[in-house]
Amino acid sequence: MEALAEHTIAFNGLNDGRHAFEFTLGDAFLEATGVEDFLGGNVHAQVELDKSTHLLVTNITVDGHIRMLCDRCNAPMDQPVQGTQRQIFKLSEEEESDDDELVSIDPNAHEINLTHYLFECISLHLPIRHVHPEGQCDPEVEDALEKVQVHYEADPDPRWSVLQDLKTKEN
Ligand SMILES: [Zn+2]
């Protein structure tokens, strides 16, 4: 996603040592990610930055929820998201290393932008499947799903019995 100005840290003005930053990633941020599944939400991001002469070590922690459609009933739900990611920026002309955690930046740079890393931290910690907690799905869909299940149990898919027959013959 595109860098947002509010996530820029002008580190040249900072003393060596630890600094803390906080960001609120709300509806506007989630829309700017371009991810169609994100319907809104609110995620609090804490960034700890440890500055030394040639290195900026950042620890990004996200905690909040993103509004998405439930994979089971398709109604909106708040998916909790929590996690931490470490990212190290090296002020160096060297080529980028294979290490994802380490990124080389221009030794003359004065600032870094964290939009991409905040987005990455959220993406990495979102579960692949998002469903309502047990019993909180849309009751209409729940009923329909139950009927389908009963139907399957009573009258199994004929394709299965064909497969079963084949298996029996092989044995
Ligand atoms: Zn649901």
Give the tokens for residue 89: 């920026």
153 Cα–ligand 1 center, Å: 23
Q: How confident is the model at residue 1 (pLDDT cuts 50, 70, 90)?
A: confident
51 vs 54: CA distance, rounded Å: 8
Ligand 1 centre to CA of 27 (Å) is 21
Residue keyed to tokens 């600032």: 111
- Expressed in angstroms and rounded, the spacing between residue 152 Cα and the centre of ligand 1 is 21
pLDDT per residue as tens digits for the range 114-162: 999 999 999 999 999 999 998 899 998 888 888 877 666 655 666 666 6
Q: Which two tokens stand for residue 169?
A: 């013959």
- Domain layout of the chain by residue ranges: 5-133, 138-171
Question: Ligand 1 centroid vs 141 CA: distance in angstroms?
Answer: 8
Residue 127 CB: number of other CB atoms within 10 A?
10
Whole-number Å distance, alpha carbon 155 to ligand 1 midpoint, is 26
- pLDDT exceeds cutoff 70 at 106: yes
Cα(129) to centroid(ligand 1), Å: 11
81 CA → ligand 1 middle, Å? 17
